[in-house]
């Protein structure tokens, strides 16, 4: 059994909600299918039509995460949530990055829902999967570190993190991901998170994501939604 939990956060961040989407068995293609390519292009066009000319701070999902980041002392917009970075990129005229079918489809799901999404290779994680405040001794290896930059970048005191038993999987809820558990072409089981902090429908986004994963990666999905009314759950390993 594994425990999924946001219990440490609900008093301070009562609007935080997350849908865990547990997918297996995955077949991750290195590129996009024609259908996925068309869907991503349509999502990019819709984002530009909907939000073009709008200040990022006026987009509900972006505003909600900026407020949440400020809730633990992050005031600079150089620290952007994952969904803000995607929206900013697309509004600047750039396409979503091409990584692999799984990453590309969940980036599209984030763009269309306005929610923050993340993904870890479940077989590279150990024990419970928990959103909590950082602790002394937490480790983090930044998969987004630039060339020549030290990837060892442990969280600051009081920072919200997503972690398993061994280390932090993602800093600041969804800001940067640890390199040790990132999904890849070899991933067969994944734990994806669909995160809201006051704006957006995690149930609808989770269901849409699961349908895309089934179509593009051939996996079945279980969805577990946590919020302040249900801050933890146990799941049996398949």
Q: What is the CATH number of domain 2-143+167-229?
A: 3.50.40.10
Of residues 153 and 32, more confidence is placed in 32
Q: What is the pLDDT of residues 158-191, one digit of tens each?
A: 899 999 999 999 999 998 999 999 999 999 999 9
Q: Give pTM, 2 decimals.
A: 0.95
Distance CA 198, CA 201 (A): 9
Distance CA 238, CA 225 (A): 18
For the chain, counts of helices (H) and of strands (E): 5, 10
- CA distances to 21, 82, 91, 232 from 106, in Å: 11, 11, 18, 24
Q: In the chain, where are the structural domains located? A: 2-143+167-229
Please, what is the Cα angle at 131 between 172 and 20, to 5 degrees? 110
When pLDDT is cut at 50, 70 and 90, the band that residue 150 belongs to is: confident
Q: What is the pLDDT of residues 199-210, one digit of tens each?
A: 999 999 999 999
């Amino acid at each position: 059994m594994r425990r999924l939990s946001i219990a440490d956060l609900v008093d301070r961040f009562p609007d935080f909600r997350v849908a865990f989407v547990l997918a297996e068995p995955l077949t991750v293609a290195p590129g996009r299918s024609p259908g996925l390519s068309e869907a991503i292009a349509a999502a990019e066009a819709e984002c530009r039509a909907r939000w073009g000319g709008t200040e990022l701070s006026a987009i509900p999902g972006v505003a909600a995460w900026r407020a949440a980041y400020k809730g633990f002392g992050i005031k600079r917009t150089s620290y952007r949530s994952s969904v803000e970075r995607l929206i900013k990129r697309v509004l600047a005229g750039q396409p979503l990055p091409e990584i692999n079918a799984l990453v590309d489809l969940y980036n599209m799901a984030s763009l269309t829902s306005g929610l923050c999404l993340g993904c870890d290779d479940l077989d590279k994680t150990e024990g419970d999967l928990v959103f909590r405040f950082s602790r002394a001794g937490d480790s983090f290896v930044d998969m987004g570190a630039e060339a020549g930059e030290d990837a060892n970048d442990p969280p600051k005191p009081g920072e919200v993190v997503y972690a398993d038993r061994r280390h932090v999987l993602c800093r600041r809820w969804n800001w940067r991901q640890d390199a040790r558990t990132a999904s890849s072409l070899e991933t067969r089981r994944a734990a994806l998170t669909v995160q809201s902090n006051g704006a957006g429908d995690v149930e609808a986004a989770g269901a849409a994501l699961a349908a895309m994963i089934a179509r593009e990666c051939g996996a079945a999905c279980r969805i577990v939604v946590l919020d302040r009314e249900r801050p933890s759950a146990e799941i049996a390993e398949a």
